[in-house]
Chains A and B, each alone.
Chain A
Amino acid sequence: MNSLFLLSTAVAQTGAAQASSMGLVDILLKVLFGFAAIGVVMCFAALSVVVERKVAAFIQGRYGPCRTFIPYVMLIPFVGRFLQRAGLMQLAADGLKFLFKEEPLPSHVNKFWFTLAPVMSLAPVLIASCAIPFGFFMYDGTPHALAAADFDLSLLFVLALGSLGVYGAVLAGWSSNSKYSYMGAIRASAQMVSYELTMVLSLVPVIIWIAPNCESPLSLFDLGMSQSSMWNCFMFPLSAFLFLVALFAETNRQPFDMAESETDLVSGFHTEYGSFKFGLFFVGEYGHMVLGSSLFICIFLGAWSPLPGLSYPADWGWITAVLATLTFLAKIAFMIFFFVWVRWTLPRFRYDHVMNLGWGKLLPLSVANLVFYLVLAAFVK
């Protein structure tokens, strides 16, 4: 939370400085970019629902959703059939169901917080998505981030907003006035707070290492650019691993889905939710996954470079921009596949084992990792 406070003051100062020099067109453009970034995240979140179901079916030897169809769309040759087989119509049906179902508001809940909770779980993800550089383009001979908001502290910004997602779970659990939700919320908050430490500590070596050669090491764009020669996951394998594990915990994905833990807590913190409010939680969860994947790609997985040690040449102009963006999106797709793959392979941890793992194993490991790179950095210098 400290980081959030620092960040807000920093952003406010730079924002105030910039606002005076910005015209109306600039602001409108920024808003447009913001919507585009949100659109990318939402698209991926929606697609990852389909991917989840399809990959799960593939892993388990089933077909997955393949029968739902919309009558007139089916008349389009090939495309309609493909949409049906790929389960995309199922996605449309589910989405519409969430939208049009009756909106239940149980009488025993605290109505204000109950309604706010799903918003709190989705909004930070969407806001943070504005700082994700999905690609880069060349302008005046220098690369620029393809992000709605590219600023020096974007890494900190995304991390801080990502950790705000826990408020959605806590609010939902508290306001639902149900014991299952309550326990789910407690687990979610404890788990997210514990793994936040590991997550940040695993990042510090990377930042320390690249800081001397980099103008703003806390910017996602610069972090991505610094990997054109070598991906960070090979230079900092332990950091990458720790970050990935913490990411699973942060996004509440199996094997860390304590907050939902459907076998004992029914649905955890969103037990009392239905229709559109549940849909918001649902999309928020997958949006979080997309956001976390983008973060991991930016920091460790080489951002826009297609292969380790390889990057698109700068003199190709807009082709580079398109290729870089496509590479980034492909990597997000791979990361989502990875998330799904793990979910359908591993059993769920027990809640106290999660805490033991977080505090007893991952945290010391991340501290040791940090110390190792600090010593190394001192010697190299």
Chain B
Amino acid sequence: MKEEKIIDVKDVAAMAESGEIGERMIVNMGPSHPSTHGVLRMVFELDGDTITKCNPVIGYLHRGSEKVAENMTYNQFIPYTDRLDYLAPLCNNVAFATCAEKIAGIEIPERCKAIRVLCCELSRIASHLIGVGVYGMDAGAWTVFMYAFTQREKLYTLFERLTGARLTCSYARVGGLARDIPEGWLGDVASFANQFLPALDEMDKLITRNRIFIDRTEEIAVISRDEAVNWGLTGANLRASGVESDIRKDNPYLGYENYEFDIPVGTKGDAYDRWLVRMEEMRQSVRIIRQVIDKMPKGAWHVDDPRIFAPEKRSVLTQMESLISNFVLTTEGPNLPKGEAYFEAENPKGALGFFIMSGGGGVPYRVRIKGPSFVSLSILPKIMPGHHITDVPVILGSLDFVLGECDR
């Protein structure tokens, strides 16, 4: 690929003077602009209304998460993972904890796995709801966004009961969870699932077959199968391009192999396919949720290893050994052996990968995060040119990224 210069706004006057851009116009969008989700900034070169060049500029939300991780214990880093893809914090927690457990080489109990799967799928629905809702809003359909948001609020109320927080859940721990599921919570999840499918159908009726919406999304930002693979897209964006790839199926973790679900796959790889794939994935998530609730195993919800997971509160208050191990765990972190591991989880936005290098002890030596949103954004200069400037929000909405995860 040809190396392209990043256009900066201050260069534009010089470029116009030297005749470098000719009749074309440079338009800056973001980092504060209604259509760029989060703080993405894009510099467009326009020929009339058609985009000839697009340069995404990222990094406005860089917080140095990877470096931060080197200065705290594994469990202390869990809240930071919330802030990666802040629309699906539970998934991030689970992915990080599972990666740490991979280093420790521990197997978590079945109940813990089932609860984590439940969290991931609920979180996937919440994230996709925002994904499709904002996508609809970008196309001008505000009501779809509000319908989606109503459902997401119900989910967040469930999350609040489970974890104590609506947005930054911080629920998973290395070797287990923050707490067991509360009494009656599963029944509420089931009733949410029951009312969710009709609500999804309603959204479908409102917009999926709407002529204006189809006109705006069909044949827009087509990513061919090969392109999607070559650019390293993951998640729904990859599947919309016709690649049947889902880590939950290809490389099952947390016992995903025990649940029946289908992978929706697109045919054309255009913006409309990405919409359809996300809508269908929510339905499949509901399928998984129902199976998890039916099969929810009884028993322990964390590993029984005092060096990895803190003992029960009651025994901390009554037994000296428990008190000591609780103290050590809190101050020094879970004792992980020396080693390194890479774990990739199928998150709503795509494959979120954690690479952890452990020098032994409770603090990671190095953490590297592979964010799917970064990959999704990297294809923008490829797919944007040739489209109308009005397509920009639709294309961005269809890729469904989160800048927190991209900039880290």
Contact = CB atoms under 8 A, between A and B. Distances in A.
Contacts of A255: 140, 212
B146 A346 contact: no
Contacts of B59: none
A67 interface: no
Interface in A189-217: none
A359 interface: no
Contacts of B391: 350
Interface in B126-157: 136-143, 146-147, 150
Given A263-B138, A351-B390, A346 B27 contact: no
Interface string A173-197: 0000001100100000000000000
A262 B35 CA distance: 8
B25 A61 contact: no
B104 interface: no
Interface string B375-408: 0000000000000111111000000000000000
B255 interface: no
Nearest to A345: B143
A345 B150 contact: no
A264 B390 contact: yes
Contacts of B392: 264
Given A179-B25, A353-B215, A344 B388 contact: no
B141 A346 contact: yes
A348 B391 CA distance: 11
B140 A346 contact: yes
Interface string A245-259: 000000000110100
Contacts of B33: 266
A52 to B, nearest CB: 12
A349 B137 contact: no
Nearest to B212: A347
A239 B27 CA distance: 41
Given A60-B147, A179-B25, A345 B206 contact: yes
B49 interface: yes
A60 B150 CA distance: 9
A59 interface: yes
Interface in B32-73: 33-35, 49
A350 B207 CA distance: 15
Contacts of B206: 345
Nearest to A346: B212
Greatest chain B CB density within 10 A among A56, A264, A346 is at A264
Contacts of B35: 263-264
A352 B182 CA distance: 54
Given A61-B150, A263-B393, A264-B389, 20 more contacts: A56-B142, A59-B143, A60-B142, A179-B27, A183-B389, A254-B140, A257-B140, A261-B390, A263-B137, A263-B138, A263-B140, A264-B29, A264-B392, A266-B34, A344-B143, A348-B139, A348-B212, A350-B215, A350-B216, A351-B49
Contacts of A266: 33-34
B388 to A, nearest CB: 6
Interface string A33-62: 000000000000000000000001001111
A348 B390 CA distance: 10
